[in-house]
Amino acid sequence: MTNLVLLNGPPASGKSTLAVEFVARRPLALKLDIDIVRGLLGGWKHDWLAAGDQARRLAIAMAETHLGDGHDVIIPQFLARPNFIDELADTARRSGVRFVEVALIVSRADALSAFDLRSATSTSSGHQDAHEMIERLGGSSALGAMFDEYASLVNQRPSVRRVDVVLGDIAETMRRLERVVESD
């Protein structure tokens, strides 16, 4: 069966790395990274919220097309509010595919530490953009508040499938992800 997988998790929890591995194991699966789509929009840094809304609309259209062709889609995205999650569930329903909502579970301290380490060492423009946005929002206190909102959302979602992240062991975390995606 074709799957639309939301891979939700705090910043620097391994979402993108896991999504890359996920699509590598499934022919023509699509890693649909909304941050990349947003970065394709002109002037997105000047109106980050509007660009994010537009990127999500574009992602829905892209997902519907790809799912309609019978291919899996995985969306690695930090979400702390249910609106887009519900839109993705509706997209899966309309497309006649299975929606799998996954939450990566990592402690607050580990999430903040991983983000700081990634910000200090990564040369990825996406990671640098994320660091810049967090700094604009208030730095580590804003990141902590985002984590708390994420944890609260996860606790309110009865159908979310939790994957405990094994720090430093992407292969084991990937095995855990595959198990929850493949289970009914």
Tokens representing residue 27 in the block: 């022919």
Place of tokens 């499934």: 26
pLDDT of 118: 63
> Phi and psi of 169, rounded to 5°?
-135, 80
Q: Looking at the predicted structure, is the pLDDT value of residue 92 above 80?
A: yes
SS3 letters across 43-86:
CHHHCHHHHHHHHHHHHHHHHHHHHHCCCCEEEECCCCCCHHHH
Residue 184 binned pLDDT confidence (cut-offs 50, 70, 90): confident
pLDDT of 52: 92
pTM of the model: 0.89
Greater confidence (110 vs 70) lies with 70
What's the rounded Cα separation, in Å, for the pair 76 and 66? Answer: 16
pLDDT of 28: 97
Highest mean pLDDT: which range of 42-46, 86-90, 123-127: 86-90
Query: Quick one: average pLDDT of 22-35?
Result: 96
Domain spans of the chain, in order of start: 3-182
Report pLDDT digits (tens) over 120-141.
Answer: 666 766 656 665 776 666 767 7
Question: Would you put residue 168 in left (φ > 0), alpha (ψ -120 to 50) or beta?
Answer: left
pLDDT of 142: 74
Q: Nearest 10 degrees: CA dihedral of 174, 177, 183, 184?
A: -160
What's the rounded Cα separation, in Å, for the pair 88 and 14? Answer: 21
Greater confidence (136 vs 175) lies with 175
Residues 66-79 as b/e (b if ≥16 CB within 10 A, e otherwise) read bbeeebbbbbbbbb
CATH superfamily of 3-182: P-loop containing nucleotide triphosphate hydrolases (3.40.50.300)
pLDDT of 135: 65
What's the rounded Cα separation, in Å, for the pair 133 and 98? Answer: 33
Question: pLDDT averaged over the chain?
Answer: 90
Residue 61 binned pLDDT confidence (cut-offs 50, 70, 90): very high
Q: Looking at the predicted structure, is the pLDDT value of residue 46 above 60?
A: yes
Report pLDDT digits (tens) over 64-78.
Answer: 999 999 999 999 999
Going 159 to 98 to 162 to 84, the CA torsion angle's sign is negative
Q: Looking at the predicted structure, is the pLDDT value of residue 23 above 90?
A: yes
